[in-house]
Amino acid sequence: MHFIKGVLITLLVTTLSGCAFWGSGQRVQQNGSVVDYLYPNAKQPTAMVPGMTQLRPPVRVGIAFVPGGGWGNGPSEQQKMKLLERVKASFSQHAYIGSIEIIPSAYMQARGGFDNLDQVARMFNVEVVALLSYDQVQFNDTNRLSLLYWTIVGAYVINGNQYDIQTMLDASVFDVKSRKLLFRAPGTSRIAGNATMAGFSEKSRAAQTEGYNQAVDQLIPNLQGQLDNFREHLKSDSSIQITNKDGYRGGGAADWSWLALAAILAALVYGQRRRTR
């Protein structure tokens, strides 16, 4: 009886040791690359030929996730729509932005290139498209401090797993006609946690979703800053021509210059009136 009990304990300890290292070092990744989408047959983006880009405020903007691959193929379509709605709100705060269309993933062809982007732009009647690329990596490790509880009815094992999820989102804004990259804005996040074996999948999935939400939290202020910087950059960039659409009176580089001049003149007139009183 003592011999049998000793064998059983040895087998149990061996099994626990195996469990403690099971799955150690796993790495899973999901990503959607703007380079793979726009330049499917090139090892690196093609050098752009210098040319004139014409923007006609208020600019019609489309927002979409690039097609992805890997584990899970990225966020679900419902999650993508929620994230894109948040990005849309950033664009809508600027007067020189007109209509903003959210483009569902079904219209974005994997490795579709600029041909697919042209088709999507015509279909949704947009002139500029913000492409959201993403890269999320999850590192899984079985916690080596797995717990063995001896109870009155026998042994009870709790294996603890730990995960580390790193997420990157990047918004690349292109003028469709000239294929010029106007500006980009990134957002990143990192979430670390642990869970029992039974609850690991549920908790790690929730952490994946939270990783994207936190990355968007960081991306939005960066995007706002880039939108403001781009408006200022237009005043000195001779490769971008601003021509307002009929009926539009604000948002072009010339309009901003006139507004600044009008403010100076108003200040001078006000000062002159004060001196003559």
- Amino acid identity at 30: Q
Residues 216-256 have pLDDT tens digits of 999 999 999 999 998 888 888 889 999 999 888 764 444 43
Asked if omega into 58 is within 30° of 0 (cis), the reply is: yes
- H or E stretch covering 162: strand 160-175
pTM: 0.75
Cα separation, 94 vs 88, in Å, equals 11
Name residues of the chain where pLDDT drops below 70: 1-25, 43-50, 69-73, 142-161, 195-200, 250-277
Q: What is the pLDDT of residue 163?
A: 80
Q: What is the pLDDT of residue 138?
A: 86
Cα separation, 212 vs 32, in Å, equals 13
Which phi-psi region, left, alpha or beta, contains residue 138 (left: φ > 0; alpha: ψ -120 to 50)? beta
CA angle 258/244/38 to nearest 5° reads 120
Residues 60-97 have pLDDT tens digits of 999 999 998 655 568 899 999 999 999 999 888 888 89
Q: What is the pLDDT of residue 11?
A: 45
3-state secondary structure 170-193: EEEEEECCCCEEEEEEEEEEEEEE
Nearest residue to 91 (alpha-carbon basis) of 228, 198, 235, 237: 228
Cα separation, 66 vs 116, in Å, equals 11
Q: What are phi and psi of 140, to 5 degrees?
A: -110, 135
- H or E stretch covering 150: strand 147-151
Q: What is the pLDDT of residue 58?
A: 93
